A and B are shown apart, each in its own frame.
Chain A
Amino acid sequence: MSSTPTARGMTDPLDTPVPAMRPLLAMRSVSKLFSNGTQALADVSLTVRSGEFVSLLGPSGCGKSTALRIIAGLGGVTTGSIDWPSTRINPNGKPESDISFVFQEPTLLPWRNVFENVYLPLQLKGISRRAAAAVVDDALKTVGLTDFRQAYPRELSGGMKMRVSIARAMVTRPKLLLMDEPFASLDEITRQKLNDDVLTLWAETGVSVIFVTHSVFESAYLSTRIVVMKARPGRIHEDFEVNRGAVRDEEFRTSESYRSTCERVSHSLQNAMHGESVRGKALHGAGAH
Chain B
Amino acid sequence: MANGNGLGASRDLALRILTPLAVVGLLVVIWWAGVKLTATPVYILPDPITVVAALVRDWQILWPAFLVTAEITLVSLGLALVGGSIFAILLVQSRWIELAFYPIAVVLQVTPIVAISPLILIYAPTTQVALLICAFLVAFFPILSNMVQGLKSVDHNHLNLFELYGASRLQTLWHLKIPAAQPYFMTGLKIGGGLSLIAAVVAEFAAGSAGAGSGLAFRLLESQFRLNIPRLFAALLMLSALGVAIFAATSFVAWLVLHRWHESSVEREN
Contacts and interface: CB of A to CB of B under 8 A. Distances in A.
Interface in B212-270: 260-263, 266
A92 B157 contact: no
A105 to B, nearest CB: 6
Contact of B261 (A92, A94, A125, A153): A153
B161 A154 contact: no
Interface string A81-115: 00000000010101001011101010101110000
Contact of A124 (B165, B179, B182): B165
Nearest to A90: B166
A186 interface: no
Contact of B266 (A72, A111, A154): A154
A120 B175 contact: yes
Contact of A107 (B157, B182, B261, B262): B157
Contact of B155 (A92, A97, A99, A107): A107
Interface in B119-162: 155, 157-158, 160-162
27 contacts: A72-B164, A73-B164, A90-B166, A97-B166, A101-B160, A101-B161, A103-B161, A107-B157, A107-B158, A107-B161, A109-B158, A109-B176, A109-B179, A110-B262, A111-B179, A111-B180, A111-B182, A111-B260, A111-B262, A120-B175, A124-B175, A125-B165, A125-B166, A154-B261, A154-B263, A154-B266, A172-B165
Interface string A35-75: 00000000000000000000000000000000001001110
A196 B176 CA distance: 32
A153 B262 CA distance: 10
A94 B166 contact: yes
A180 to B, nearest CB: 10
A74 B167 contact: no
A128 to B, nearest CB: 15
Contacts of A123: 175
A120 B180 CA distance: 15
The residue in A73, A74, A121, A124 that gathers the most chain B C-beta atoms within 10 A of its C-beta is A124
B10 interface: no
Contacts of B262: 110-111
Given A109-B176, A109-B179, A121 B165 contact: yes
B163 A74 contact: yes
Contacts of A74: 160, 163-164
B171 interface: yes
A97 B171 CA distance: 17
Contacts of A103: 157, 160-161
Contacts of A109: 158, 175-176, 179
A99 B161 CA distance: 11
A101 B164 CA distance: 8
A217 interface: no
Q: Main SS of chain A's interface residues?
A: loop
A208 B54 CA distance: 80
Contacts of A100: 164
Contacts of B261: 110-111, 152-154
A124 B168 CA distance: 8
A73 B164 CA distance: 7
A124 B155 contact: no
Contact of B165 (A105, A111, A120): A120
The residue in B163, B165, B167, B171 that gathers the most chain A C-beta atoms within 10 A of its C-beta is B165
Interface string A220-262: 0000000000000000000000000000000000000000000
Given A110-B261, A111-B182, A111-B260, A124 B162 contact: yes
A105 B157 contact: yes
Contacts of B161: 101, 103, 107
Contacts of A97: 166
The residue in B157, B164, B260 that gathers the most chain A C-beta atoms within 10 A of its C-beta is B164
A100 B171 CA distance: 18
B116 to A, nearest CB: 39
A32 to B, nearest CB: 16
10 closest pairs, A vs B, by CB? Answer: A107-B157, A110-B261, A111-B261, A124-B167, A111-B179, A124-B165, A121-B165, A152-B261, A101-B164, A74-B160
Contacts of A111: 179-180, 182, 260-262
Contacts of A120: 165, 175
Nearest to A99: B164
B49 to A, nearest CB: 50
A152 B259 CA distance: 11
Interface in A103-145: 103, 105, 107, 109-111, 120-121, 123-125
Given A74-B163, A101-B161, A107-B161, 14 more contacts: A72-B164, A100-B164, A105-B157, A109-B158, A110-B262, A111-B180, A111-B262, A120-B165, A124-B166, A125-B165, A152-B260, A152-B261, A154-B263, A154-B266
